[in-house]
Amino acid sequence: MKNYRHGDISLHLIDKLPDGIKKVKSNGVFNLKEGEATGHFHQLKGDFEIYQDEEGRNVLNVNKKSTLTHPEHKEITIEKGIYIQEQEIEYDPFTEELNKVID
């Protein structure tokens, strides 16, 4: 199973498009998430369709290798497949809490 982590987001390969999703308009470039700290975008470029599930998460149907960019992270190539976007979390051992990663 191929998964990707890019700053405060992660993409997880899934078997098929989930039920109840809605297609989002895109033209080969899509901002997956804006960084809370910097205002920079995690931007996907390539041949893909974007959907949103009932929880507001992005679902990516990548038809051909596409590129994920962000000014503060290394550019990565996303292989063909269907992915669901999640928010990265981290464990703080001092407070014993799970917190959203902020980018």
d(CA 22, CA 83): 15
Structure tokens, 47: 């041949």
What residue spans define the domains of the chain?
A: 3-100
CB 3 within 8 A of CB 78: no
Q: pLDDT tens, 6-60?
A: 777 889 999 999 999 999 998 899 988 666 666 678 889 999 999 999 998 999 9
Q: pLDDT tens, 52-66?
A: 999 989 999 999 999
Supply the pTM of this predicted model: 0.79
